[in-house]
């Protein structure tokens, strides 16, 4: 669930009254699963998830519930009993300026396992519409839809899906929409630091605090398993190879090469000025880590490029912090 808070005592909200009238309206009636529950789909799912539970494919993994009700890329066939209530509700919200949407959470219940051969049918309903809420993203309404899945007359699953349909918050003055595309920023070297909006802070927890202590001392610390000596990054409480919870730190040399990279254009983050490059760097020690690539224009970053660790000091409205980044070595820099 995203952080949510009410905007004080609810003011009379005519739109809310209209939205609330959708509660209880059917969105799908008598939908039918495209395929019966079947072993090949269960096997593919288990392979993709890495789930080796021997109960499968004798029964289907419970969390596979939606796989049996989805319409696939082509959507549900014509006459699949969609009522249009959902589109009508979302149309109202769009017209009221709540044009953005984010899925917030999903709840499922599994009254009985699905087995190969089961044929599912499903019904959907708009279960609830919240009063208008103000969140960090913007102001809007939480919409919960519920799907009940049956085999014959037996309820086998319930799927609740909640979205926030909202008018995005304006964080900074933005140009009015214009039919002319806005000019794109010209390619340029990335700034060493930025005084823009507060940069997202790394999440420091019990498992990785030693790493960030190292960064504060300008040391890049990996973990080395005490059981099998495998190096690992990011920091984890146990070894992925042998399972041992015992480990010691090993300081990385800071040399590496770009294993892969992306150039970020969209979505915009207030703290960053696109476009900029983010690399997956393979360290000389063999582990890989994600970090900003500096010292070279974003469009000159290439796979295999040698890079060297440096520490970027960022000062913003929340104070100063150090971040490990990777600078193209001298011969690569332009
Ligand atoms: Zn190990």
Residue whose C-alpha is closest to residue 123's, from 87, 85, 94, 95 = 85
| 183 inside domain | no
CA of 321 from ligand 1 middle (Å) equals 32
Judge if 144 and 212 occupy the same domain.
no
CA of 303 from ligand 1 middle (Å) equals 30
| 2 inside domain | no
Q: What is the pLDDT of residues 181-213, one digit of tens each?
A: 444 444 444 444 444 677 878 888 888 999 999
Judge if 310 and 207 occupy the same domain.
yes
Three-state secondary-structure class, residue 100: strand
CA of 50 from ligand 1 middle (Å) equals 20
CA of 155 from ligand 1 middle (Å) equals 45
Q: What is the pLDDT of residues 284-328, one digit of tens each?
A: 999 999 999 999 999 999 999 999 999 999 887 778 889 999 999
| 319 inside domain | yes
Judge if 137 and 16 occupy the same domain.
yes
Phi, psi of 86 (to 5 degrees): -65, -50
Judge if 160 and 248 occupy the same domain.
no
| 210 inside domain | yes
Judge if 163 and 203 occupy the same domain.
no
CB 100 within 8 A of CB 168: yes
| 109 inside domain | yes
Whether residue 155 is predicted with pLDDT greater than 80 in this model: the reply is yes
What is the pTM (predicted TM-score) of this model?
Answer: 0.52
| 104 inside domain | yes
Judge if 42 and 156 occupy the same domain.
yes
- Rounded to 10 degrees, what is the CA torsion of 86, 92, 94, 100? -50
DSSP designation for 314? E
| 184 inside domain | no
CA of 68 from ligand 1 middle (Å) equals 39
Domain boundary among 168, 203, 238: 168
Q: How sure is the predictor about 173, in pLDDT bands with cuts at 50, 70 and 90?
A: very low
CA of 239 from ligand 1 middle (Å) equals 5
Judge if 127 and 240 occupy the same domain.
no
Please give the residue range of the domain that contains residue 37: 12-168
CA of 252 from ligand 1 middle (Å) equals 18
Cα–chain center distance at 37: 29
Check residues 68 and 190 and name the one with the higher pLDDT. Answer: 68
Judge if 114 and 229 occupy the same domain.
no
CA of 225 from ligand 1 middle (Å) equals 5
Structural domains counted in the chain: 2
Whether residue 235 is predicted with pLDDT greater than 90 in this model: the reply is yes
For residue 112, CA distances in Å to 115, 150, 155, 211 come to 9, 10, 8, 45
CA of 204 from ligand 1 middle (Å) equals 23
Judge if 226 and 142 occupy the same domain.
no
Domain boundary among 150, 168, 186: 168
Domain boundary among 123, 152, 168: 168
Judge if 161 and 218 occupy the same domain.
no
Judge if 128 and 29 occupy the same domain.
yes
| 43 inside domain | yes
Cα–chain center distance at 184: 26
Total Cβ atoms within 10 A of residue 285 = 18
pLDDT score of 177:
45
Supply the CATH number for residue 70's domain. 3.10.129.10
Q: How sure is the predictor about 82, in pLDDT bands with cuts at 50, 70 and 90?
A: confident
Judge if 157 and 40 occupy the same domain.
yes
Check residues 91 and 137 and name the one with the higher pLDDT. Answer: 91
């Amino acid at each position: 669930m995203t952080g949510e808070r009410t905007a004080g005592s609810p003011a009379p909200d005519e739109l809310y009254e209209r939205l609330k009238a959708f509660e209880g309206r059917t969105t799908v009636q008598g939908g039918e699963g495209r395929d019966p529950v079947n072993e090949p789909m269960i096997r593919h799912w288990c392979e993709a998830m890495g789930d080796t539970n021997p109960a499968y494919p004798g029964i289907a993994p419970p969390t596979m519930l939606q796989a049996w009700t989805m319409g696939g890329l082509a959507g549900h066939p014509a006459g699949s009993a969609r009522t249009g209530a959902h589109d009508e509700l979302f149309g109202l919200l769009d017209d009221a300026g709540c044009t953005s949407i984010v899925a917030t959470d999903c709840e499922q219940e599994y009254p009985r396992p699905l087995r190969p051969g089961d044929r599912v049918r499903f019904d959907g309903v708009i279960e609830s519409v919240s009063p208008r809420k103000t969140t960090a993203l913007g102001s809007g309404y939480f919409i919960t839809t519920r799907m009940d899945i049956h085999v014959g007359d037996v309820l086998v699953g319930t799927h609740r899906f909640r979205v926030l349909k909202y008018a995005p918050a304006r964080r900074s003055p933005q140009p009015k929409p214009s039919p002319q595309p806005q000019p794109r920023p010209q390619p340029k070297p990335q700034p060493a630091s930025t005084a823009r909006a507060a940069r997202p802070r790394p999440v420091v927890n019990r498992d990785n605090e030693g790493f960030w202590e190292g960064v504060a001392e300008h040391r890049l610390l990996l973990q080395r398993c005490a059981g099998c000596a495998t190096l690992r990054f990011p920091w984890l409480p146990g070894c992925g190879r042998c399972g041992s919870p015992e480990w010691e730190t090993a300081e990385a040399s800071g040399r590496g090469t770009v294993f892969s990279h992306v150039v970020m254009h969209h979505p915009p983050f207030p703290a960053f000025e696109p476009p900029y490059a983010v690399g997956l760097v393979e360290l000389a020690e063999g582990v890989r880590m994600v970090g900003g690539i500096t010292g070279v224009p974003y469009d000159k970053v290439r796979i295999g490029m040698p890079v060297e660790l440096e520490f970027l000091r960022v000062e913003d409205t929340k104070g100063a912090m150090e971040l490990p980044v990777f600078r193209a070595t001298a011969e690569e820099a332009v």
